[in-house]
Amino acid sequence: MKSLRIGTRDSQLAVWQATTVQNLLKEKGVDSELVYIKSEGDLDTVTPLYELGVQGIFTKSLDAALLAGRIDLAVHSMKDVPTQLARGIKEAAVLERASYKDLFVYKGDISLLTEELNYKNHQWLQNNSSFTIHHSPLPTHHSPFTIATSSIRRKAQWLNRYPNHQVENLRGNVNTRLRKLEESNWQGAIFAAAGLERINLRPQNSIELDWMLPAPAQGAIMVVCSENDEQAYEATHQLNHPITALCVKIERDFLSGLKGGCSTPVSGLAVMSYAQIVFKGNVCSNDGRETFSIEKTVDISEAEDLGKKAAMEILEQPSALKIVQDIRNAKA
């Protein structure tokens, strides 16, 4: 069998993920090498064509290299992958999921967070997650408490819980964002726990946001290959983790059903509990003032369409439908 070429971005986290796939393939007796894809500039011979006009900001360069035959596999953080893959590309494997949680990295003494965040004795005391429509009150004043995130989903959920806080934009890879936080006057920033933990960068001054629903497929790694490359598919599919694959499919079906993408305030989490799948999802208005949540539990034998059904139930509620329509209009 030929040595497989694994495409990866050159950030520390992306290389860690690709190396993990490489090592897992080696355990299965499959040789491979890493191919670093630095930019889109030299990949203009093939343009991935996505249905619905959606292109993955963090995945299209690797997809283009895959379609052009420069690599055999591409490794992605699955939450960044469009729910509709580029034509000519298929899912080869989903690795066992790491932590799906969001993480608040704070600055200063943790006791300073008690008043602003209502976090005491390692617990979040306030809980707005009632799995119904929730209206956050208009702030009567703006707090100087400022956090940072580039995620609309995280921003919306944070403002729904803390409507008087300020939220600044934070871009860049994990290392860059940690450095920007350190150099800023922000009180903290939100990160994916898996991203920090995988490369041993989780600071001691961090708290898991147990009340914040994650992005669909957060914490999961997806490997894709060309639709007509059966050799690469068969070799890589050995790494597939069926329970993770089912759970993230449910979450991504929920996102797709609401016509959302990685830049919309839609959250979803499916977990296995004994022989059942428990799904929680929500959609927030962009400003965080309104959120509609849903929770469903079904037997695993009936879970295949759970994400689609949850999305349909949300769209049947006039108040929730209005949130979704407002999001779509804002993106138009």
Residues with catalytic function? 80
Token reading at 249 = 């499919």
How far is the C-alpha of 68 from the C-alpha of 47, rounded, in Å?
9
DSSP 3-state assignment of 104? strand
Q: Is the dihedral of CA 74, 307, 127, 291 positive or negative?
A: positive
Residue with tokens 């591409």: 74
Strands 32-36 and 4-8: parallel
How far is the C-alpha of 164 from the C-alpha of 161, rounded, in Å?
9
Altogether, the residues listed in the chain come to a count of 332
CB 283 within 8 A of CB 291: yes
How far is the C-alpha of 35 from the C-alpha of 81, rounded, in Å?
19
Number of H helices, E strands in the chain: 10, 16
Residue closest to 326 by CA, chosen among 152, 174, 99, 140: 152
